[in-house]
Structure 1
């Protein structure tokens, strides 16, 4: 069976609801989206036009929606069954969940054996599954002043995506998004919105937080798309407090196998004041098979909520200390590379901290020489976006910048970034919604290695 036909068969299985038939999607009138009734005007690829629809009337969470299908809590057993079938179709053996803090990458051998999925076909079928939802408003790739696309075949750019995708158990069970219809959070559809976003931009490195469907969804699908993945759960995930949860949430890191090979992996449980906390980080040193150069990638999710600023600062200090040790060139296999200094860093995460917080200052002033990529969207190159998350809870409206992509500015350069949607594009109900699957926006940038003096000789 060719990859396209296999992909189609798998997606048809995923489209079937727990009631035995296709999931109905009629949360708004046909006129809510420009174009023929019931169609989704969404064109794959960056830089191509999309038809923007008007926003459907947002209803308080839990309100009834005419024609909407019954929603199984958490995407519950039906979701697990469906994606269990997918995983078994892609691999001859089921995926086993590893220990909490393994020393090695638990998915290394499993991912190699999974069948190939055609990403274009999968993207088309995601769009077909979402045809009754409004298209995601188009986001432009912006080139900061003085930069241009890297055309050097020996040093192509590396696309990095950072995204808190919103744990399913938290979205439906704890977060209280009072202007988001419960139907919009249905995992049987929301998973397609997440996959559509990833497939549209096709990052080389993907860093995710609040992943509570790793083993039954993201690991088998991303492996079939050619990615190597690893996952680290929170020790005491709040998802476990929600009835019919899908297990703990945590951080996940994926890299494209055709572009990188793995050198080292570290799974960290972050400490504060010498005490272990509930937050974690994954740190991997990757070798770029095109340039032969190494890059260290980290993904983390720091403590949430106001009042915990000192804890976040301590967690950041602990992570920075670990990164300094990991990126030292002492273990380099190349004498030339060892002489060139520390391995350059890319650190992605939901820091749950505004730029005014101490943990942000720790990263921006670190001896590791880190800069925040999204500052480059501002006119002066020194100001973060106004928001990366915008939500309405019973406690009120929250519009904050909490998510970042940090990079070693002396060794890496940022060529372009995915722009932040406007308030109009986000809509009055804020995030999440029918066309934004998470309460956080995805961040994306293309980076490349700066030329080093010894490489120019």
Structure 2
């Protein structure tokens, strides 16, 4: 919209007949001649971001003020910027006081990037350098004003801990077992949260490969505590004034994991997620039925039986092929069907999996790994989970017809969504950060890129405690 203000400010160099139009009149009567302004207008409407009135936003600029203006972003820079989408049910962000921003981010392990050059042959080598990428990741997360970060593929934890400590974060790390060099890390803003409890799951102990999961119980330091300290100071002057304690004691379980990649081992993938959810539920109950947030790289697409299990709390494994549990087998970049640029869609972003009435054969070992019980064929969990992105309507350029992002990861062999943030009903999503349109991703040829430090895009949502 800044382009419109510049047009008004440059009125002295335009033909005299143009001077009779005010800026607002040009917007209403000649939108077809102000293409850039119209695009930004659409973005603001889409993300529902509140802004000042038109008369304020379109103020003319004097020659002196133009002289000190920052350079305008190029078209590519604007299109590669990510926009906030706000929940229509919570249009007023002041409705909730206890809000916090959660980031889930697979940051691309240094060793993983070096061992799989075939995935990044279109990416300039300098974009894969860790010294450069870690600075981009830190800069990006600071833009989001993160409160809690759940990171995957972390194999340089000391580097990250040193950087994020400067930004007021504390963190814990759990490395994968076996020969793998990466793991998971959870960071939290010290001024907003304190750590009450932490534990890890080594899936190897259950015969479920070398992946791990983290679980932390964090106590939210609410604003009322600050007010309480102020009351205490005032009480020194007026002893009769009663000191109010913190009126809320809010805590939350934060879960972070990176599920096995192997698409053919749906039994192991299900077993890992099942254990992860079981332990998260146990911790929630132990600490007083507190809310739960589940995040990470689940290596499963939105139209998969794995997603169905998370969303509906149950799954009959006999209705699904073990090799199709995560939906990865048929989700190569050539098989992804995206919404067209005019906003129309023929189907969800990736082929919809429909349960077949016939039963698939699982051997006894596969059943035991998936369900944890000999002979059982039905999976269940006790968390009522909601997807943060599914809870906030977004752009047809970045979401599939089901409401999830079209793509959270992009390299030479895959473009699609495998990263998620789930939460229980005690929390409500206020806003989420849209991912990038598919055409913009393809223009880069792959991730990481000049602007983004990983082959995944960070998922970001602002959650609030329900009153």
Shorter-chain TM-score: what band? 0.5 to 0.7
* Partner of residue 433 from structure 1, selected from 443, 446, 449: 449
* Partner of residue 303 from structure 2, selected from 339, 353, 356: 356
Give 3-state SS (helix, strand or coil) of 1:376's partner: coil
* Partner of residue 259 from structure 1, selected from 182, 192, 195: 192
Residues 351-360 or 253-262, more deviating = 351-360
Superposition pairs for residues 8-407 of structure 1, below 5 Å?
A: 52-53=73-74, 137-151=80-94, 155-176=97-118, 177-215=120-158, 217-238=159-180, 248-270=181-203, 274-290=206-222, 291-328=248-285, 330=286, 332=287, 338=288, 342-366=289-313, 367-378=382-393, 382-392=402-412, 397-407=413-423
Q: Using a 3 Å threshold, how does the CA distance of structure 1 residues 50 and 326 change in structure 2: closer, same or farther?
A: farther
Q: Using a 3 Å threshold, how does the CA distance of structure 1 residues 298 and 47 change in structure 2: closer, same or farther?
A: farther
User: Could you tell me how far 1:150 is from its partner in structure 2?
Assistant: 3.1
CA distance in 1, matches of 2:117, 2:279: 32
Q: Is contact 2:407–2:438 with CA below 8 Å preserved after alignment?
A: no
Give 3-state SS (helix, strand or coil) of 2:139's partner: helix
Report the equivalent of 1:412. 427
Q: Using a 3 Å threshold, how does the CA distance of structure 1 residues 54 and 302 change in structure 2: closer, same or farther?
A: same
Report the equivalent of 1:64. none
CA distance in 1, matches of 2:266, 2:73: 39
User: Could you tell me how far 1:50 is from its partner in structure 2?
Assistant: 9.2
Looking at secondary structure, tell me which structure has more helix per residue.
2
Q: Is contact 2:406–2:438 with CA below 8 Å preserved after alignment?
A: no
- Alignment deviations for residues 230-275 of structure 1 (CA, whole Å, 9 cap, x no partner): 000111354xxxxxxxxx2110000111111211101111259x41
CA distance in 2, matches of 1:257, 1:51: 36
CA distance in 1, matches of 2:253, 2:81: 31
CA distance in 1, matches of 2:299, 2:134: 24
CA distance in 2, matches of 1:136, 1:189: 23
CA distance in 2, matches of 1:149, 1:201: 19
CA distance in 2, matches of 1:412, 1:50: 40
CA distance in 1, matches of 2:169, 2:455: 25
User: Could you tell me how far 1:371 is from its partner in structure 2?
Assistant: 0.9
User: Could you tell me how far 1:181 is from its partner in structure 2?
Assistant: 1.3
1:444 maps to 2:463: no
Give 3-state SS (helix, strand or coil) of 2:210's partner: strand
Write out the 4+ residue segments of structure 1 that deviate beyond 4 Å after TM superposition.
46-55, 377-382
Q: Is contact 1:228–1:255 with CA below 8 Å preserved after alignment?
A: yes
Q: Using a 3 Å threshold, how does the CA distance of structure 1 residues 53 and 175 change in structure 2: closer, same or farther?
A: farther
5+ long unaligned stretches in structure 1: 1-45, 56-133, 239-247, 333-337, 452-457
Q: Is contact 1:166–1:440 with CA below 8 Å preserved after alignment?
A: yes
- Alignment deviations for residues 165-207 of structure 1 (CA, whole Å, 9 cap, x no partner): 0011211332521211112111221221111111111200011
Larger radius of gyration, structure 1 or 2? 2
CA distance in 2, matches of 1:148, 1:382: 22
Q: Using a 3 Å threshold, how does the CA distance of structure 1 residues 51 and 275 change in structure 2: closer, same or farther?
A: farther
5+ long unaligned stretches in structure 2: 1-48, 52-69, 223-247, 314-381, 395-399
CA distance in 1, matches of 2:262, 2:157: 25
- Alignment deviations for residues 378-436 of structure 1 (CA, whole Å, 9 cap, x no partner): 469953222111211xxxx411110000000x200000000111123322402222222
Q: Is contact 1:47–1:140 with CA below 8 Å preserved after alignment?
A: no
Q: Using a 3 Å threshold, how does the CA distance of structure 1 residues 311 and 53 change in structure 2: closer, same or farther?
A: farther
User: Could you tell me how far 1:313 is from its partner in structure 2?
Assistant: 1.0
Give 3-state SS (helix, strand or coil) of 2:126's partner: helix
Q: Is contact 2:186–2:256 with CA below 8 Å preserved after alignment?
A: yes
TM-score, with structure 2 as normaliser: 0.60
Give 3-state SS (helix, strand or coil) of 2:111's partner: helix
CA distance in 2, matches of 1:308, 1:175: 24
Report the equivalent of 2:234. none
C-alpha RMSD of matched pairs (Å):
2.6
CA distance in 2, matches of 1:226, 1:199: 11
Give 3-state SS (helix, strand or coil) of 2:123's partner: coil
Give 3-state SS (helix, strand or coil) of 2:435's partner: coil
Q: Is contact 1:260–1:286 with CA below 8 Å preserved after alignment?
A: yes
